[in-house]
Chains A and B, each alone.
Chain A
Amino acid sequence: MRLEKCYFCSSTVYPGHGVTFVRNDSTVFKFCRSKCHKLFKKKRNPRKIRWTKASRRLRGKELVNDKTQLIESRRDVPVKVSPELVQKTIEIIKQVHEIKHKRYAHLIEQNNVLEKML
């Protein structure tokens, strides 16, 4: 079981939700809800729809290329899994999560300061 990312808005698609669309060239699109699906069918560009994560990243509202994000990346490299590794990983995940949110909060504050100055 895996949590996927919606193609359009980049929110997590939990199992049992959403629609998966496979095109004839075998590209797979996953949508979290019909809103994203319908917009996709209307050929909207997610980067132009303001509430999607893609647009937010473009406008600098989200953390981009942060070290915390690089740790969580899906790679096609096989990993030899052992119970110790998993335990370690879980602890690290929690701490990384903390750091990421701290940095995100900092980013938001910076943005607020910028707005205030303007």
Chain B
Amino acid sequence: MTSLYNFKGITVVPSAKELKEIVLSKTQRKTPTVVHRQYAISRIRSFYARKIKFLQQTLHDKLSQIINEFPKTEEVHPFYSDLMNILYDKDHYKIALGQVNTNRHLVAQIAREYVRLMKYSDSLYRCKLLKRAALGRMVKLLKRQNSSFEYLEQVRQHLSRLPSIDPNTRTLILCGFPNVGKSSLMNSLSRADVEVQPYAFTTKSLYVGHFDYRYLRWQIIDTPGILDQPLEQRNTIEMQAVTALAHLKATVLFVMDVSEQCDHTIEEQINLFESIRPLFANKPVFVGLNKVDIVRRGEIATEKQALLEQLEKKDIPVCELSTVSKEGVITLRDKACDALMAQRVQRKLQSKGYDNNIISRLYVAVPEPRDDKVRAPFIPPGALVKRTDRAALKENKNVERMECDMPQKFVIPEIWEGHNISDFLREDIEELFADLSKEERERIEAGVYDKDLDSDDEETKKLLRRALVIREKEELAKQEFRIKKGTDQPKVARKIGQKRTRTMENFEHAMSQLGVDISSKKMKNLESDSSHPIRGKRIRVGRSQSLVGNTALPRDVQGVPDIETYDKAKKSKRKGQRPMQQDARKGEGDHHVFDMKPKHLFSGKRGLGKTTRHVLEREDVVMISLILDDIDAVKGKAVEKLLIKLSLELDINLWNQKNMYEFESTGDSYLDMLVDNPDDDERIKIKNGIKGSVGDSEKIFMTVFRRSK
């Protein structure tokens, strides 16, 4: 039953376009796609008929799903049907669903028609055309209904967001003018967090909150505020509140604002109450006077108080409460819940349809007293005392708690500047510190901490001072060098660069530093010389230097309109030079590598890897020593030639050919061979002998020995 009141499970209603895509692609995927014109005509017909029927079936399924999943207003609780009527307009809703239904029929009709026509087609082409026509017509129907689909989708979205109110369970409804404090009351009573704002109509729809009371779950419904208008003039928002009041069997909490901060006087509020009184027909009603923290009931005008008393006379309990200070909220809630419980229980007991009439089935058996002896239950005296004490405590509920300050917790700091304070905590720290400070005082008095100013004699002091000056100068020179290095000024030829530094000012400065005073008068020539502008190339026109002809402006000045662009051009020219300069390349074609095999990459121990690998090729070496009878006879080139020949024939590498026959003896030879003379036969023997005993992979190392006579 609860599923009826939870509309979150409705599947999404696709728009007409989407539905068309879905349905057509499904038809294409799920039916056979291949047909040839040489097939039997019946086969072709059934192929295309299948497609038409498949589309019809799919559309039928999808549309039926929509129709079935949307709630029928007749089948849901009248509260929901009324709510839906207010929100979505029942007529529109019904019409939309009805149109979807008719679409279903129409689609079925079209499919039937075209399948019948298919019988009379005699070629693949005709069948195909029929199928196209059928599918097209079926899908076009959908397009016409696009507005219904969109409307239904909107309805579905809104429905899924409706609060799930169970109309049959225990409920409290809050009603009243806008801004009286219904939402704040709801927030304080339940776990809901409804928006509370100072403007009216903050709550625009119904909200549900839940709370527990007496081990049962209760719903509390917050409604938008109702204004005092006749029913016809009410807007959608107010109508939701009215619907809730009308259909739900619940306790009504009419919230009034005593302080009149909601812009309505108490009279107006009571008028509203009277006007919606008919809605409270069989419901327990409570009036809550909210915002009592601002104005108490006793402080309002007597006429208003009289009105409230009138209400009370009609058996409607009026309670004061304040959502801000929380007073009276819980009492009101308890009262309201109790009243509703009583009513519900009554109703359940009275209803005949209530099959589980437990009362009729309950029977409490009481033993018949056989004599007048009193047989009271035994309660041990200790428990009895406790019981009476507890009862007495319960009675003294008015005992006020004394307001006393909570004792300040003493927080021990743990750390001070990198030291643990707990290391210092000891009982006798004062004594220790007294000791220490005494010792320190003695040390100060003894002059331990006095600076030894007379330790250095005059010479060393001078030396130290000069050293300081030297150090400072060195620092400055370092910094200057760094600055100089860091410029991207173009590197100027030394001649010109030197000339730039050799100015009068620099000279004067340097001399004054050394203690020599010079004046410009004495250095007349230097001054005139330094006042010339320094140019890279001197253009000499004519005979004397003084006759300077019309020097054409240099091209870099000529080609540029103004100084700013000239500066920019200079800058970009210099910047362009930079990458080449930094790479230390002369130009683009300069690919010279200064260090092809940097040592640090080609030397050192291996990081990961076995030590068995040597830097050179891995070849095992076998030493064969040729012991020659008379080395003098076979000396020099001849031996070399022999060895080379041998190596070629045996297909071995000779290691260090040059020094081989220079060895006198080695002593670690694997094989000894006797070679008397380099004869062919002997050579062959040697060859076979070597090959027989030595494997192919081994490198054969040859040494030549002189046989000792």
What is the interface of chain A, defined by CB distance below 8 A to chain B? 1-3, 12, 67-68, 70-75, 77, 79-81, 83, 85-86, 88-90, 92-97, 99, 102, 106, 113
> Quick check: A3 and B424 within 8 Å, CB to CB?
no
Known A67-B435, A67-B436, A96-B436: A79·B416 in contact at CB below 8 Å: no
The minimal Cβ–Cβ distance linking B659 to chain A, given in whole angstroms, is: 45
Q: Which of A12, A71, A75, A106 contacts B433 (CB 8 A)?
A: A71
Query: Is B493 close to A, CB under 8 A?
Result: no
Q: Which of B410, B423, B437, B452 contacts A73 (CB 8 A)?
A: B423
> Quick check: B413 and A86 within 8 Å, CB to CB?
yes
Residues in A neighbouring B439, C-beta threshold 8 A: 67
Query: Is B432 close to A, CB under 8 A?
Result: yes
Known: A67-B432, A113-B455. 14 other contacts (CB 8 A): A2-B414, A71-B429, A74-B420, A79-B425, A79-B426, A81-B425, A86-B412, A88-B429, A89-B429, A93-B419, A96-B436, A97-B419, A99-B437, A113-B452
- 0/1 interface trace, chain B 640-653, chain A, CB 8 Å (1 if under): 00000000000000
24 A-B pairs in the complex with CB atoms less than 8 angstroms apart: A2-B422, A3-B415, A3-B419, A3-B420, A12-B418, A71-B424, A71-B429, A71-B432, A72-B423, A72-B424, A73-B423, A80-B427, A83-B410, A85-B427, A86-B412, A86-B413, A86-B425, A88-B429, A89-B424, A92-B429, A94-B416, A96-B436, A97-B417, A99-B436
Q: Which of B414, B423, B440, B449 contacts A74 (CB 8 A)?
A: B423
**How far is A77 from B417 in the complex, measured between Cα atoms in Å?**
24
> Quick check: B436 and A72 within 8 Å, CB to CB?
no
**How far is A93 from B423 in the complex, measured between Cα atoms in Å?**
10
Query: Is B638 close to A, CB under 8 A?
Result: no
Known A75-B426, A88-B430: A102·B415 in contact at CB below 8 Å: no
The minimal Cβ–Cβ distance linking A18 to chain B, given in whole angstroms, is: 15
- 0/1 interface trace, chain B 377-417, chain A, CB 8 Å (1 if under): 00000000000000000000000000000000010111111
Query: Is B448 close to A, CB under 8 A?
Result: yes
Query: Is B421 close to A, CB under 8 A?
Result: yes
Residues in A neighbouring B412, C-beta threshold 8 A: 81, 86
Residues in B neighbouring A2, C-beta threshold 8 A: 414, 420, 422
Residues in B neighbouring A68, C-beta threshold 8 A: 436
The minimal Cβ–Cβ distance linking B408 to chain A, given in whole angstroms, is: 10
Residues in A neighbouring B435, C-beta threshold 8 A: 67
Q: Could you say which interface size class chain B belongs to?
A: 20 to 34
The 7 A-B pairs of least Cβ separation, nearest first, read: A92-B433, A79-B425, A72-B423, A74-B423, A67-B436, A83-B410, A89-B424
> Quick check: A90 and B416 within 8 Å, CB to CB?
yes
The minimal Cβ–Cβ distance linking B423 to chain A, given in whole angstroms, is: 5
> Quick check: B448 and A106 within 8 Å, CB to CB?
yes
**How far is A77 from B416 in the complex, measured between Cα atoms in Å?**
21
Residues in A neighbouring B423, C-beta threshold 8 A: 72-74
Known A67-B436, A113-B452: A77·B426 in contact at CB below 8 Å: yes
> Quick check: B421 and A86 within 8 Å, CB to CB?
yes
**How far is A73 from B429 in the complex, measured between Cα atoms in Å?**
11
Known A2-B420, A106-B448: A89·B436 in contact at CB below 8 Å: no
> Quick check: A102 and B449 within 8 Å, CB to CB?
yes
> Quick check: A89 and B425 within 8 Å, CB to CB?
yes
**How far is A97 from B412 in the complex, measured between Cα atoms in Å?**
20
> Quick check: A1 and B415 within 8 Å, CB to CB?
yes
**How far is A109 from B433 in the complex, measured between Cα atoms in Å?**
25
Residues in A neighbouring B420, C-beta threshold 8 A: 2-3, 74
Residues in B neighbouring A93, C-beta threshold 8 A: 416, 419, 421, 424
> Quick check: B416 and A106 within 8 Å, CB to CB?
no
**How far is A114 from B415 in the complex, measured between Cα atoms in Å?**
37
Residues in A neighbouring B452, C-beta threshold 8 A: 113
Residues in B neighbouring A73, C-beta threshold 8 A: 423
> Quick check: A92 and B425 within 8 Å, CB to CB?
no
Known A71-B433, A95-B433: A106·B425 in contact at CB below 8 Å: no
Determine which residue in A73, A77, A86 has the highest number of CB atoms from chain B within 10 A of its CB, and name it: A86
> Quick check: B433 and A85 within 8 Å, CB to CB?
no
**How far is A77 from B439 in the complex, measured between Cα atoms in Å?**
26
**How far is A9 from B606 in the complex, measured between Cα atoms in Å?**
32
Q: Which of B413, B424, B449 contacts A106 (CB 8 A)?
A: B449
> Quick check: A3 and B449 within 8 Å, CB to CB?
no
> Quick check: B421 and A89 within 8 Å, CB to CB?
yes
**How far is A56 from B413 in the complex, measured between Cα atoms in Å?**
31
Residues in A neighbouring B425, C-beta threshold 8 A: 79, 81, 85-86, 89
The minimal Cβ–Cβ distance linking B37 to chain A, given in whole angstroms, is: 80
Residue of B with least CB distance to A74:
B423
The minimal Cβ–Cβ distance linking A14 to chain B, given in whole angstroms, is: 9
**How far is A90 from B419 in the complex, measured between Cα atoms in Å?**
11
Residues in B neighbouring A12, C-beta threshold 8 A: 418
Residue of A with least CB distance to B432:
A71
Residue of A with least CB distance to B449:
A106
The minimal Cβ–Cβ distance linking A107 to chain B, given in whole angstroms, is: 11
Residues in A neighbouring B449, C-beta threshold 8 A: 102, 106
**How far is A72 from B435 in the complex, measured between Cα atoms in Å?**
14
Residues in A neighbouring B419, C-beta threshold 8 A: 3, 72, 93, 97
Q: Which of A3, A88, A94, A96 contacts B418 (CB 8 A)?
A: A3
**How far is A72 from B436 in the complex, measured between Cα atoms in Å?**
13
The minimal Cβ–Cβ distance linking B420 to chain A, given in whole angstroms, is: 5
> Quick check: B418 and A71 within 8 Å, CB to CB?
no
Residues in B neighbouring A88, C-beta threshold 8 A: 429-430
Q: Which of B427, B430, B440 contacts A79 (CB 8 A)?
A: B427
Determine which residue in A3, A83, A89 has the highest number of CB atoms from chain B within 10 A of its CB, and name it: A89
**How far is A108 from B432 in the complex, measured between Cα atoms in Å?**
25
The minimal Cβ–Cβ distance linking B441 to chain A, given in whole angstroms, is: 11
Residues in B neighbouring A96, C-beta threshold 8 A: 424, 433, 436
**How far is A48 from B16 in the complex, measured between Cα atoms in Å?**
85
**How far is A113 from B419 in the complex, measured between Cα atoms in Å?**
31
Residues in B neighbouring A95, C-beta threshold 8 A: 433, 437
**How far is A52 from B250 in the complex, measured between Cα atoms in Å?**
81
Residues in B neighbouring A80, C-beta threshold 8 A: 427
The minimal Cβ–Cβ distance linking B462 to chain A, given in whole angstroms, is: 15
The minimal Cβ–Cβ distance linking A71 to chain B, given in whole angstroms, is: 5
The minimal Cβ–Cβ distance linking B433 to chain A, given in whole angstroms, is: 5
> Quick check: A92 and B418 within 8 Å, CB to CB?
no
Residues in A neighbouring B410, C-beta threshold 8 A: 83
The minimal Cβ–Cβ distance linking B434 to chain A, given in whole angstroms, is: 10
**How far is A12 from B455 in the complex, measured between Cα atoms in Å?**
38
**How far is A47 from B399 in the complex, measured between Cα atoms in Å?**
72
Residue of A with least CB distance to B456:
A116
**How far is A83 from B410 in the complex, measured between Cα atoms in Å?**
7
Residues in A neighbouring B413, C-beta threshold 8 A: 86, 90
**How far is A7 from B415 in the complex, measured between Cα atoms in Å?**
20
> Quick check: A1 and B414 within 8 Å, CB to CB?
yes
Residues in A neighbouring B436, C-beta threshold 8 A: 67-68, 71, 96, 99
**How far is A27 from B111 in the complex, measured between Cα atoms in Å?**
88
**How far is A81 from B426 in the complex, measured between Cα atoms in Å?**
9
**How far is A113 from B451 in the complex, measured between Cα atoms in Å?**
11
Residues in A neighbouring B440, C-beta threshold 8 A: 99
Residue of A with least CB distance to B436:
A67
The minimal Cβ–Cβ distance linking A34 to chain B, given in whole angstroms, is: 19
